Amino acid sequence: MQFLLSFAMATDENLPEPAINTVNIIVGETKYTKSLGVCRGNLNVNGQDDISIAPSDLSLPSFYLHKVDFTTKTNVTLTAIGSSFNLNIDMPSGGGYDPATTCEAKIIENSATTYDIQAKKCSVDKIAVAVDPPTNTISFRARCTKGL
């Protein structure tokens, strides 16, 4: 029983908190830290409802979380394509990843000024080329100032 309790507590822990306007990404076992340049929008109102690296950041990996509903305060589901919370990451080795099916994301903070979201061990495959079984996992925690 003690082992099960310890295991449950360990898997429920949040990823380390990144600096504001930063995303920490883990692809497989490789860790990256990227600055965020976008954290704003009104879902499906003006088409600009993203959390992403700055448009001028051409270094890889990239990080894009499209169709973010900034009014949602509960956990959400990430997808490759859908009405909200679409994740994709382009990689230095070429190509990119998006969720193989869906994966759960946890909204850690959604205040008037700050948005903090994480996903752990999201099964991913290559963008536009579905692979079964999924080819990798992605974890991330993004923390940003709303309106960025």
Residue ranges of domains in the chain: 2-145
Question: What is d(CA 90, CA 74) in angstroms, rounded to the nearest whole number?
Answer: 27
What is the band of 1 on the pLDDT scale with cuts at 50, 70, 90? very low
Q: Provide the pLDDT for residue 94.
A: 78
Mean pLDDT of the chain: 87
The pLDDT value recorded for residue 129 is 64
Tell me the residue type at 28. Answer: G
For residue range 64-120, list pLDDT tens digits in order.
Answer: 999 999 989 999 999 998 888 999 999 988 788 999 889 999 999 999 999 999 999
- For tokens 């859908």, name the residue: 82
Model pTM above 0.75: yes
